[in-house]
Structures are given as structure tokens and as C-alpha cells.
Amino acid sequence: MKTFYNPDHILHAARQEMFRGRMVACHEVPARFDFVMRELERRPLGKVLQPSISDIELDAILASVHSERYLNFLEGAWAEWVAMDPANVERDALPSVWPMPNRHGFRTDRLPENFAARMGAFAFDSGCPLTAGSWTAARKGAACAMAAAQDVAAGARSAFALTRPPGHHAGPDFFGGYCFLNNAAVAAQTLRDKGVERVAVLDVDYHHGNGTQTIFYERPDVLTISIHGDPLTEYPYYLGHADERGAGAGEGFNLNLPLAHGTGFMPWIRALDQALDAVHHYKAGALVVPMGLDTFEGDPISGFTLKSGDYTTIGRRLADADLPTVFTFEGGYAVDEVGVNAVNLLAGFQNAA
Ligand code: OKP
Ligand code: ZN
């Protein structure tokens, strides 16, 4: 499989994130990318190349998964942050005030002028710093996802979008969880646009793919599935329950498989089999896998206990679905092991095929 990588990922390198009342070092660091790249050099899976996607193409696909208001906000956010206070150039932007939906009667068509307030209107946590280069990094990352999906639509068995920041928490008009633009949604929509009638997204990151779920919640043409830590105790908390099944025309086309903190490989792989059954019954024509490696036992912010060798099995099992597959790089914060775990999964997939 080809890897489409984002050399501009480095433009997004935040200093600190808010965690329980204090600022702590970011978990989502540029070195994560380097470890995956280094492991791909050690155990090559195919060509490693930059995407060639035009701005027009990219704008169009972003506009089909995110709102115009949100994209405009993100594009101008850093300049507005610095305009608030020139000293802000030394600090990453974080929100500190949020609308309470259904309480204040807040409407997204009546945004406040104050930047900090507007930032809160588009964000769902204070742990996702926006830096001078976040927009460009995220945008170039979305181009990788689009290129990977185009490659698969053109007949490749699989492709990998290697980029950061990750994307699966980014919704139609919100960011959070280290994510700004939803790379997996971009890949799924690209496959749809290329004529794949039914696309399945199977999110294996430790955290519920709340952004992807929300983007496709009312659509029957993209089945969204997520296996993740139970939102009763795990981030992102407010979504990811088993009874969220989709709405309207999308009813029945969202499947959440929450598992308790502490879950090990055997119950995890049973959930994967359940997910793959759903993909099969849906008669998907292609698969998108938001690939988080934070299910690993050594992950500092997660609670499953998968081991490095388990990722090979997961890759193999995903290959059994026998579908053209796009992988996007999501979480995984045991930085030293993230490359080995990612390539184990991808190689497990590729060598099974
Ligand atoms: C992003 B992805 C933990 C705080 C939680 C957000 C986690 C985002 C995970 N100390 N902060 O799904 O891997
Ligand atoms: Zn995660």
C-alpha cells in the first residue's frame, strides 16, 4: 500500500494542553509521526509520497464534511488570536468559555464577535491548542486522506494517510481532542464522490469517533462504527453510547461498541468481529479505518491493554473484510511504540491480502 504523508504536520506543534486545572505537556507531539515514518522505512509497505491535491479539490471536499462558518473560523483563527493581544503570538490559542446548548439558547447563526467566545462556540474541550500552523497542517493532512481515498477508488487494495493532527473528533462545526479537520470523513466522502455507494468507517482508536459519528449521523450512505472506551468514564464522554444508532435517514447506520476501561485483547477482538459483521451486512463497497494505536497497554492517556503483537492480528482481521481500505493515522501516545504498533497493523493487513 502507498503511504500519503504530510510533511507540514510539523507546523502543528503545540506547547501545552489544559488538563484538570493545569497546563501539561501535549501528548499529541510531532515525534509520533517520526516514529511511524521510521518504522515504515524499516519495514516498507510500498511507496511513501506526498499527496497532489489541488486547492479547489481540497476546498470542495472540506466543504462537504465541515460547515463554511467553521472552516472560515479555523482559517482565520490564529490571526484573530494574535489581534486580540500581540503577546498571544507566544501562546497557543485555547478556549475558556463555551455556549451551553439548549440552556442559553445559543445559535450558531448568531456568533459573538469576541474571538475567545467564538473559539468556545466551535470547540468542545480546552485540551486542543490551536497554533500558528494548525490550519495549514490540518489542511495538508486532509489532502493526504483525500489522496489515499482517490488511490483506493482507482483500484488500490489499500492506502495509508500518515498525518497529524488526527481528525476523528472533529465534527461538522467543532474541534477538540487534538483534531481540527476530520481526515477519515474526508476519505469516506471522497470514496462516495468517486462512486462507492456505501462506505463503512470502522474507528479503532481508544476514544469514540464523535466527530465522524456526528458528520454522518443522518446519512445512510456512510455506516459509522466505533470501538472505544465507555464514554461513561472515558473521553470524549458525551457521545459514544451503544444506543446512538443514527437519526432520520441515517437511523440504523451508526454502531457504537463501548468497552470498559481495562478491557484486554480478547473482548476487544470480539467487538471487532461484531463491527466487521455489521460492515458485511451493510454491503459496504469500501472501508475507512481511523487507526488509533492508543488501545496499547502502554498508552499514557487510555485504558485498554493491547500488546504490540495484537496489532498484527487486528490488521489481518480487517483484511478478512476483503474491502478496499483507507487507513488514517489517529491517536497513540506511547510515542516510542506508536510506529511499531501502526506498522504491525498495516503489515498485518497487507500480508494477509
Ligand atoms: C484524541 B484521539 C487525558 C485528557 C484527554 C483528550 C484526548 C484526545 C484523544 N489526559 N484529552 O482520539 O486519540
Ligand atoms: Zn484516541
Mean pLDDT per 10-residue run, the chain (353 residues)? 98 94 95 98 98 98 97 98 97 92 75 94 96 98 99 98 98 97 99 98 98 98 99 98 98 98 98 98 98 98 98 98 98 98 98 86
| CA 164 – ligand 2 centroid, Å | 12
What is the spatial distance between Cα 67 and Cα 63, in angstroms, rounded to a whole number?
Answer: 6
Q: What is the pLDDT of residue 106?
A: 76
Strand 22-25 relative to strand 16-19: parallel, antiparallel, unpaired?
Answer: antiparallel
What is the spatial distance between Cα 12 and Cα 133, in angstroms, rounded to a whole number?
Answer: 5
Residue whose CA is at the smallest distance from ligand 1 atom 7 = 177
In whole angstroms, how far apart are CA 271 and each of 228, 237, 341?
A: 10, 20, 19
Parent domain of 297: 2-52+133-352
Cβ contacts of residue 352 below 8 Å, gap of 6+?
Answer: 315, 316, 319, 320
Task: List residues bridging with 179 in a β-sheet.
Answer: 176
> What total number of domains does the chain contain?
1
pTM of the model: 0.98
- Among 237, 276, 241, 266, smallest CA distance to 256 is for 241
Question: Please, where are the H alpha helices in the chain?
Answer: 31-42, 55-65, 68-84, 115-122, 134-153, 183-193, 210-216, 265-282, 308-320, 335-352
Residue 93 resides in a domain: no
Question: Please, where are the H alpha helices in 85-133?
Answer: 115-122
The yes-or-no answer on residue 169 being catalytic is yes
| CA 55 – ligand 2 centroid, Å | 29
Q: What is the pLDDT of residue 105?
A: 73
CB 149 within 8 A of CB 324: no
Axis crossing angle, helix 55-65 with helix 134-153, rounded to the nearest 10: 90
| DSSP-assigned letter for residue 320 | H
Residue whose CA is at the smallest distance from ligand 1 atom 13 = 331
Q: ipTM exceeding 0.85?
A: yes
Residue 277 resides in a domain: yes
**Residue position matching grid coordinates 504530510:** 6
What is the spatial distance between Cα 324 and Cα 336, in angstroms, rounded to a whole number?
Answer: 30
CB 307 within 8 A of CB 346: no
Q: Tell me the best of 213, 301, 302, 304 to mutate to test the pocket of ligand 1, counting ligand atoms within 8 Å of each CB and taking the most.
A: 301
Q: What is the pLDDT of residue 100?
A: 80
CATH at 223: 3.40.800.20
Residue 186 resides in a domain: yes
- Among 63, 73, 85, smallest CA distance to 113 is for 73
